[in-house]
């Protein structure tokens, strides 16, 4: 899986201008998050595909009662995307409802159903925040491991987690369970608001299935060179 570029832009125009820097015949894997999707709506998926071949990770992090999540996931399943997300802390019933909604939506639209990823704990989370603000006394790595096991048991295809927790997740999940890792920063780059970060090489060595990279590419002075460097570091270890 190629590195997933996080398209954290405010509108379609800015997003397309960024993507126009890349060879239009080169397939890319991109992440569409809340900001862009809420601004442009579901039509953004079709519009991105008009410009170039893309696989799309739609990262909306659904979290609500099971019925509401199932209905929302049904709509997402119709879009022909490749990956999407829910929060693991919503519990097994919500995770199962999300999976059912995606499958039903994809079937009705006659498209392949996206893989469902559960968010464990965000890479901006810290042990102190979990302990003092959420009253979670379980150590962060073990809390992530537990949520991954819950997600797999609920039929979810994988999780989003820091690469630092990948070995723990691998210990309690199947070999084909996806572990997609954000918080990727090449050496000598700013961390921003990420707390639990690794390099592309380290992510591979720890067992990540795929990596998500945003600002080190989108805010680079030469985004294509930055992408190629990250892709090479990641792919050289595949």
Residue positions annotated with a catalytic role: 61
Q: What distance in Å separates the CA atoms of residue 127 and residue 132, rounded to the nearest whole number?
A: 9
The rounded distance, in Å, linking the Cα atoms of 213 and 233 is 13
* Binding-site positions for substrate: 8, 31, 59-68, 123, 185, 194, 214-215
N residues, the chain: 238
CA distance 149 to 147: 5
User: CA 191 to CA 216: how far, in whole Å?
Assistant: 9
Contact 10, 34 (CB under 8 A): no
User: In DSSP terms, which residues pair with 83 in a beta bridge?
Assistant: 57, 115
d(CA 59, CA 123): 14
Angle between helices 66-77 and 92-109 (to 10 degrees): 30
């Amino acid at each position: 899986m190629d590195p997933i570029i996080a398209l954290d832009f405010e509108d379609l125009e800015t997003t397309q201008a960024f993507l126009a820097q890349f060879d239009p015949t080169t397939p890319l894997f991109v992440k569409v998050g809340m900001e862009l999707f809420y601004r442009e709506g579901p039509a953004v998926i079709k519009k991105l595909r008009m410009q170039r071949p893309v696989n799309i990770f739609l990262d909306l992090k659904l979290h609500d009662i099971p019925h509401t999540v199932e209905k929302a996931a049904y709509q997402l399943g119709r879009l022909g995307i490749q990956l999407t997300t829910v929060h693991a802390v919503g519990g097994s019933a919500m995770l199962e409802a999300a999976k059912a909604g995606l499958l039903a939506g994809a079937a009705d639209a006659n498209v392949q159903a996206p893989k469902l990823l559960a968010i464990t704990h965000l890479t901006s989370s810290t042990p102190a925040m979990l302990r003092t603000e959420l009253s979670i006394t379980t150590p962060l790595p073990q809390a992530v491991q537990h949520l991954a096991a819950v997600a797999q048991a609920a039929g979810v295809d994988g999780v989003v987690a820091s690469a630092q927790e990948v070995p723990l997740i691998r210990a309690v999940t199947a070999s084909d369970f996806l572990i997609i890792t954000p918080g990727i920063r090449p050496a000598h780059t700013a961390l921003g608001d990420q707390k639990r970060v690794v390099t592309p090489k380290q992510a591979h060595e720890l067992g990540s299935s795929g990596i998500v990279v945003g600002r080190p590419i989108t805010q680079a002075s030469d985004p294509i060179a930055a992408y190629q460097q990250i892709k090479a570091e990641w792919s050289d270890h595949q």
